[in-house]
Amino acid sequence: ILKENKIETAVITGDLKHEFGVINRAEWENILKIIDLFLKYCKKLIIIKGNHDVSLPFIARKKGIELSEYYKIDDIFVCHGDKIIDNEEFKKSKLILMGHEHPAIGFREKSKYENFKCFLKGKFLDKELIVLPSFNTLTIGTDILRNRLLSPFLQQNLKNFQAYVIEKDKVYDFGKLKKFS
């Protein structure tokens, strides 16, 4: 499908890098490979600078890609989520897509504890908010039921947020977070 239908635009919501500091050789090479993979199947790649991406401009510049603070298409505002960008484009949007928090939902049964990466869906002001999980296989993310959340978008009561876990090709609707209180 990808070979037949070239994707118009792909957006990475930040934290393409995992480490905060300098770029080691393996990370540099892997990020270049990821960018090449995206550029093979899409016409335009937008990378939103995340809080882990301090040294990412060097890599992006090598590939001729500009880092952005956000990306807006129609009424969708895509941002990293570590800060609120309060501009006209944000105000006119109806849907916010963000990364940063890397939500996961954890369950304990006796001595066994399991964490599942999840999508969160809720409200921020008058807008729909969708928080994306980490797509890094090394990082599960933040247990939204037990840990302190960092994103200013999530500094609110999350009891009416929905959690969705995706395993292989199936979506599991875990329902509203209030049922886990």
> What tens digit of pLDDT does each residue of 162-180 get?
999 988 889 999 999 999 8
pLDDT value of residue 47: 92
- Tell me the pLDDT of the chain averaged across its residues: 89
Provide the pLDDT confidence category of residue 72 given band limits of 50, 70 and 90: very high
Average pLDDT over residues 129-136: 92
pLDDT > 90 fraction of the chain, expressed in percent and rounded: 57
> What tens digit of pLDDT does each residue of 15-67 get?
877 666 667 788 888 888 999 999 999 889 999 998 877 778 888 888 888 88
Greatest distance between any 2 Cα atoms in the chain: 52
**Cα–chain-centroid distance for residue 73?**
17
pLDDT value of residue 4: 64
Q: Which of 142, 145, 119, 116 is nearest to 132 (CA)?
A: 119
pLDDT value of residue 18: 65
Structure-token pair, residue 81: 């989520």
Q: Is the pLDDT of residue 1 over 80?
A: no
Provide the pLDDT confidence category of residue 108 given band limits of 50, 70 and 90: confident
Burial (CB count within 10 angstroms: exposed 0-12, middle 13-18, buried 19+), residue 178: exposed
pLDDT value of residue 130: 98
**CA–CA gap between residue 120 and residue 134 (Å, rounded):** 12
Burial pattern 30-42, b for ≥16 Cβ within 10 A else e, equals ebeeebeebeeeb
